[in-house]
Every structure is written in structure tokens, then in C-alpha cells.
Structure 1
């Protein structure tokens, strides 16, 4: 299982024009091939009067499944270049459909490759891409004397504090990657002379979205 990889958090849409042909790229996150195929069909219905609805998608934590289609364009001029943009961006769990409305001028093989590649790049630029991280929630309970040290340790590691509860003690909640978990626990134990209590929650996936870390579904 991959510990970290890029995904589309929210999809986007973008359009470019090449010699009067319109190329509309529609990007969406997907978790399964069924979701990808359903999105492709929905996009084809939306743009039912277009000459071509070419697509590419990647499914699986290890990019196990990759598919693409030229949808009537010359072989290798649409689907494969689109897929190459997705893999070049290091993306997983993603589908993109590029809809073409023919403008009356032939673009040639090279022109088509450039147009479909540029369309996907524009679609990704209009999407929100985040890094999906495998990790866990960690709840840290400390007395007030140990709070400053723990905050310093977390700050030095660039770890955001999700929540803080103040009672007779202080309870902090953070998200840690699988690689961070053991080292940070050890550092907090040493820094507080074993006074801080730590409880590891269920494994989860999280990402930084709009500057804040949050658990992904």
C-alpha cells in the first residue's frame, strides 16, 4: 500500500480552443472503475452533440488500473497523451474526459496530441490536488507544565494541532503519518519525562486542504 500519493480532492473543468475546435476537459476524483465509467457516461450525455469524448482514468493505490480511449480520434492522439499527463502528475484515483467540438480545421497528429495534453493540464489546473497520506490520529494528554514542550516538538515537525481541550489537564489532537508516529511519540515521551499520555486512534488517510489537515473519507 502506498503511504502517500496525489489525488484530486475536487474536480474541475477547463476549455481551450485550437483552430476553432473546442476542447473541454472535465476532471473528477474516483475510487473505483465503476465510478470512472459512470462519470464518463454522464459526461458523454452532457456533451451528447460533441464529435468526440475521449477519456483516461487511473484507479488503485498502486495505479493498478489505467485505461484510455481515443473515441474516434486517430489512434494514440488523444487517450494516451491524456493518460500520460495524469501519470506525469503522479495522480491516483482520477478520471478525465476531454470533449471535442470540431471547428472545421484538421489539426494533424501532433496538433491533436498537444491539444488533448494541454486540455488535461488545464483541467488539472482548475482542480484541487492534494497529497493523500496514510496515518493515524494521536491524542496527547498533558499537564500544563508539559504543554509548552509538546507544542514546541509538534511545531518543529510541522505538525498541526487539530483540537485542544483545556480542563484540569490539556488534551491535544493531531494527525501523524505512519512514518511520523513512532518518532514523535518517542520525542514527546522524552521531552515530558514520560508524563504525557498518548492514545493512538484508528488508522486513517488525511491531507492538507486549504492549509488545514483533515481526514479523508
Structure 2
């Protein structure tokens, strides 16, 4: 079963006067990964390279950011794969110290930077989630909300109008059970969508 990170993890290494800052971050997909890389670029304007690799939802991607081809992004990606991670972005920011490391030295440095960050990471099982949307009257909506929160499901969005529309985020494996429970709680007046 794929795993992900409970929280971000970082590490810093120095290799022949170059500084390598490793970041391991949980992300939802490519869009969030691109935002995180841009943010790290902005936070480290003096860095020579911001190299990264992504594994998220069956998609992967990587960038050597002007390092010799295959010496940065690929090693980061292989470390993420080795740990069986998904929904994870690995980024290594390099401040060049004036000494060239050669292809082998770069591969080792980028591998070590992300592997060291992952040593400090809390890695957890990745549970696929889904969102159920329910439209209900006010009394049923409150009953559904209390039940969902009691089950530990997130209810990030509630829209009050003529009726109430609730969005619940829950483990995908529990969606059929949740739909049945919602129908029971409301006497069949509400059924989830999605």
C-alpha cells in the first residue's frame, strides 16, 4: 500500500562547499507541487538549482533545473519510489560552493539530501479519500454533520440556502457505508452525490 508524509521534513547537507537543502512535502497533485516549487524558488533566490521529483496519484515528474541531465531529478524520484511514497514532492535546493562534483558526485549529493530528509519524516499509510455531497433540510443537515464529525470525517464546506448542502471528505472505502447511514439518519430524505 502506498504511503505518504504526515508532515513536511527537511535536511541540510554540505558537500565540497555546496549546500544541499532537502525538502519532502505531501502534495495533492501537480498543481500544488508546482506552487510549492515556485515558493521554494522564491524563498531561496540565491540558489543555483531547485531540483525536484513528484509522485502523486500515479503521475510522476522531475526536473534537473540546469544540472547535467539525470543527476538530480531522477535520483530524487528513485528515493521517493524506494520508500513507496505517493502524494509526495521531493525538492533539493543547491547553493553552488565553487567546486564541481561531477555526475557521480551530484547523483550521490541529491540522493543523500532527499534520503536524509525522509529519515526525519513521519511516513504514514496513504488512505484514498473521496468527497460526498449531501443536500438536506436544516434539521437533517445538523444530524448528518454531527454524525460525520463523530466518525472523524471532515466537513469542510456547508452551504446554507433553501436547503443545506454539505460536503464531506472521508476514506473511499467507507463511502458506501456512509451513504447507507445518511439515508437511515434522514429516513430516506437525503442521499449523497459523488
* Distance across 2 between alignment mates of 1:78 and 1:100: 10
Question: SS where residue 45 of structure 1 aligns?
Answer: helix
1:100 aligns with 2:94: yes
Query: When you count strand as a share of all residues, which structure comes out higher?
Result: 1
Q: Which residue of 1 aligns with 2:55?
A: 58
- Counting only pairs closer than 5 Å after superposition, residues 143-154 of structure 1 correspond to structure 2 as none
CA shift digits 1:151-171 (9 cap, x unpaired): xxxxxxxxxxx99xxxxxxxx
CA deviation after TM superposition for structure 1 residue 32, in Å: 1.6
CA shift digits 1:45-84 (9 cap, x unpaired): 0011101110111110xx2x11101101111100001101
> 23, 27, 32: which one pairs with 1:26?
23
* Distance across 1 between alignment mates of 2:172 and 2:52: 33
- Counting only pairs closer than 5 Å after superposition, residues 67-86 of structure 1 correspond to structure 2 as 67-86=61-80
- Counting only pairs closer than 5 Å after superposition, residues 1-217 of structure 1 correspond to structure 2 as 4-60=1-57, 63=58, 65-133=59-127, 200-201=177-178
The number of equivalent residue pairs is: 142
* Distance across 2 between alignment mates of 1:119 and 1:40: 16
CA deviation after TM superposition for structure 1 residue 134, in Å: 5.6
Cα 1:32–1:18 change in 2 (3 A) is: same
CA shift digits 1:21-53 (9 cap, x unpaired): 110011110112100000000001001110111
For normalisation by structure 1, the TM-score amounts to: 0.59
Question: SS where residue 14 of structure 2 aligns?
Answer: strand
CA shift digits 1:82-125 (9 cap, x unpaired): 10110111000011110001111111110000000000101112
Q: Any unmatched runs of 5+ in structure 2?
A: 130-150, 153-170, 181-194
Q: Looking at CA atoms only, which structure, 1 or 2, has the larger radius of gyration?
A: 1
Question: SS where residue 117 of structure 1 aligns?
Answer: helix
Q: Any unmatched runs of 5+ in structure 1?
A: 136-161, 164-175, 182-199, 204-217
Question: SS where residue 98 of structure 1 aligns?
Answer: strand
Question: SS where residue 99 of structure 2 aligns?
Answer: coil
For normalisation by structure 2, the TM-score amounts to: 0.66
* Distance across 2 between alignment mates of 1:57 and 1:105: 28
Q: Which residue of 2 aligns with 1:147?
A: none
Q: Which residue of 2 aligns with 1:191?
A: none
CA shift digits 1:111-147 (9 cap, x unpaired): 0000000001011122211012469xxxxxxxxxxxx
Cα 1:24–1:66 change in 2 (3 A) is: same
